Amino acid sequence: MKSLYSLNLKEAEGIMESLEAPKYRAAQLLRWLYRVHVRSWDELKNIPKDLRDKLAEKYFLASLELAEEYENAKNPTTKYLFKTHDGHFLESVLIRQGDRKTVCVSTQLGCRVRCPFCASGKSGFFRNLTAGEIIEQIAWIVRKSHCQITNVVFMGMGEPLDNFDEVMKALEILTAPWGFEMGGRKITVSTSGVPEKIYEFVKRTDGRIRLSVSLHSPFDETRSRLIPYNRKYPLKALLATLYKIHEDLKRDITFEYTLIDGMNDSEEDAKAVAKIARPLQAKINLIPYNPIREITWKAPSEEKMKHFRSILEKEKVRSTFRKTAGQEVEGACGQLRLDRVTRR
Ligand code: SF4
């Protein structure tokens, strides 16, 4: 059974037609889903009972259940652990920074990339999330937190471009006037670098959705250690795609760069990063390493990180410095779920 939260307008109209209901019921239904974020059939007040019953025979109204919620008063971040209808767990995070309220969503159960610093890939890969399960994470959080969400980032569990079709569908629902009606620039999709999908993604979204590519090292050997997908998609292939995007589609690139003490934070690293970024006019988001319990790596000292950034500046490469959110709420991405699975 599918979740109603994965429907676009055309599909909703098709369903109404097949159930011999008037076409305008489709817009009414989508309004309940994407504006009110209903969780029970009784809430669909202007949809007749017999139509609700027919829909309930074929669809879940909602397929995720909230299993746990962790809040930290010092760090205005809340982590949500959801249980899927087939018994798996996934995580989402709400980050409150002044007027900015960002939801970080998961796109897969587990992750095939298996970055050693990330808890998400540790327990293997189970399946892709559906667009409905991606959208439901946001709907649940809006409802639970009473927050007006301003931004969505696809940076939770999973490699979004490995679940291309469902992620594209979720983006359609987020940006459509019949959906959440969010501006594309308020949404960021983060990828470990899947060259064959990146070009298609930028082309199909017309560059309206922000794309962030994890670089983490300018050298194949270290990058393969940090992002094992680099063995399959080495830097040469990834950069060739990014140059093509820059040339053909005239879109800027943002790189994420997690700084790890003694691993990728040397002057040589900084200079090589600048060499990659400059021709792309790319911006670098520097992020101090967020420790997880299984690995003893740590973030470089403040001084070392400043020095790294100063080299980028000297080389005329734009950079920002981001503090990791969620660090105090049960660790890094995927950690909460990993704990739960391990406990089971
Ligand atoms: S960092 Fe991202 S790509 Fe790497 S294992 Fe974690 S979820 Fe997957």
Q: At what angle do helices 235-244 and 267-280 cross, to 10 degrees?
A: 30
Q: Please report the pLDDT score of residue 2 as a whole number.
A: 84
Span from the CA of 160 to the centroid of ligand 1 (angstroms): 10
Per-residue pLDDT of the chain (344 residues; tens, 9 = 90+): 888 999 999 999 999 999 999 999 999 999 999 999 999 999 999 999 999 999 999 999 989 999 999 887 766 889 999 999 999 999 999 988 889 999 999 999 999 998 887 877 777 899 999 999 999 999 999 999 988 999 999 999 999 999 999 999 999 999 999 999 999 999 999 999 999 999 999 999 988 999 999 999 999 999 999 999 999 999 999 999 999 999 998 888 899 999 999 999 999 999 999 999 999 999 999 999 877 766 788 999 999 999 999 999 999 999 998 765 444 433 344 444 444 444 43
Q: Please report the pLDDT score of residue 122 as a whole number.
A: 74
Atom of ligand 1 nearest to the CA of 156: 7
| 46 shares a domain with 78 | no
Say yes or no: CB of residue 273 within 6 Å of ligand 1: no
Q: Please report the pLDDT score of residue 340 as a whole number.
A: 46
| 73 shares a domain with 56 | no
CATH of the domain at 21: 1.10.150.530
| 104 shares a domain with 35 | no
Say yes or no: CB of residue 159 within 6 Å of ligand 1: yes
| 158 shares a domain with 265 | yes
| 262 shares a domain with 137 | yes
| 125 shares a domain with 30 | no
C-alpha 296, offset from chain centre:
26
- Residue identifier of the C-alpha nearest atom 4 of ligand 1: 115
Say yes or no: CB of residue 115 within 6 Å of ligand 1: yes
Which amino acid would we find at residue 343?
A: R
The total domain count for the chain is 2
Span from the CA of 175 to the centroid of ligand 1 (angstroms): 25
Task: Give ∠ CA 76-172-108 in degrees, rounded to 5.
Answer: 60
Span from the CA of 78 to the centroid of ligand 1 (angstroms): 20
| 13 shares a domain with 152 | no
Does 333 participate in catalysis according to the annotation?
Answer: yes
| 260 shares a domain with 133 | yes
CATH of the domain at 172: 3.20.20.70
| 33 shares a domain with 177 | no
Domain hosting residue 267, numbered range: 65-343
Say yes or no: CB of residue 127 within 6 Å of ligand 1: no
Exposed e or buried b for every residue in 190-214, given b needs 16+ CB within 10 A? bbbbbbebbeebbeebebebbbbbb
pTM above 0.75, yes or no: yes
Among 42, 60, 78, the domain boundary falls at 60
Does 136 participate in catalysis according to the annotation?
Answer: no
Span from the CA of 121 to the centroid of ligand 1 (angstroms): 6
Q: Is the dihedral of CA 240, 245, 248, 250 positive or negative?
A: negative
Q: Please report the pLDDT score of residue 66 as a whole number.
A: 95
| 18 shares a domain with 140 | no
| 173 shares a domain with 301 | yes
> In Å, how far are 242, 244, 286, 337 from 312, measured between CA atoms?
19, 23, 11, 36
| 54 shares a domain with 89 | no
Q: Among 91, 133, 256, 330, which one carries the catalytic annotation? A: 91
